[in-house]
């Protein structure tokens, strides 16, 4: 009986048309990049990594850091420092795609969360706002690209970057 209930719950979660449409809108995988830590830079990671069906695993905070607003060049080796409302802090480095992510066992923050990004040369940028809301009920709040998407405009500041312009001027 328990197994049937679990299967039914997975079917219900897997059949959320709004969620499925949002994932479909992301488009396909980049050719030559297999699913894993380097895939889908700049996309809302937690849309898929919400833990709803167990695979892929749940992320609490995840995103991509780019070099500049005008390019998709990843900021490899940048350090993302997150500090939650209780003072619990963690640092995580971005990978070759500029991606970073944390699972609940690594960091399960209490909102609000302050974010500071430091690039390998020492330039630091503090996010002007904080990650807020209920991460358990609104998991996409922990996905940088849910707010930071292209093109920049009234609904988004654009993707997260470490320098203000292509000349390397810090923000």
User: Mean pLDDT over residues 4-22, rounded?
Assistant: 55
Alpha-carbon span 101 to 28, nearest angstrom: 21
**pLDDT for 100:** 95
pLDDT of residue 113: 95
> C-alpha angle 31/63/95, rounded to 5°?
65
Give the pLDDT band of residue 97 (cuts 50, 70, 90).
very high
pTM to 2 decimals? 0.79
Tens digits of residue pLDDT in 46-93: 888 777 766 678 889 999 999 998 889 999 999 999 999 999 999 999
CA atoms within 13 A of residue 30's CA, in its CB half-sphere: 9
Residues 6+ apart with CB under 8 A from 28: none
Which of the two residues, 127 and 15, has the higher pLDDT score?
127
Report strand pairing: 79-83 vs 89-93.
Answer: antiparallel
CB-based contacts of 119-125 (< 8 A; 24+ apart in sequence):
119/75, 119/77, 119/78, 119/162, 119/163, 120/77, 120/78, 123/162, 123/163, 123/170, 125/162, 125/170, 125/171
């Amino acid at each position: 009986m328990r197994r049937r209930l679990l299967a039914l719950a997975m079917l219900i979660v897997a059949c959320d048309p709004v969620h499925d449409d949002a994932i479909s809108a992301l488009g396909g995988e980049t050719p030559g990049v297999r699913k894993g830590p380097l895939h889908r830079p700049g996309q809302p990671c937690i849309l898929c990594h919400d833990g709803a069906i167990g695979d892929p695993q749940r992320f609490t905070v995840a995103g991509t850091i780019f070099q500049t607003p005008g390019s998709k060049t990843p900021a490899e080796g940048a350090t993302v420092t997150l500090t939650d409302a209780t003072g619990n802090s963690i640092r995580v480095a971005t990978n070759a795609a500029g991606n970073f992510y944390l699972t609940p066992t690594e960091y399960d923050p209490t909102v609000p969360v302050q974010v500071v990004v430091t690039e390998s040369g020492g330039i630091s940028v503090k996010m002007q706002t904080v990650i807020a809301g209920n991460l358990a009920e609104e998991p996409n709040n922990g996905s940088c690209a849910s707010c930071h998407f292209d093109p920049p405009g009234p609904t988004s500041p654009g993707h997260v970057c470490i320098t203000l312009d292509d000349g390397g001027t810090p923000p």
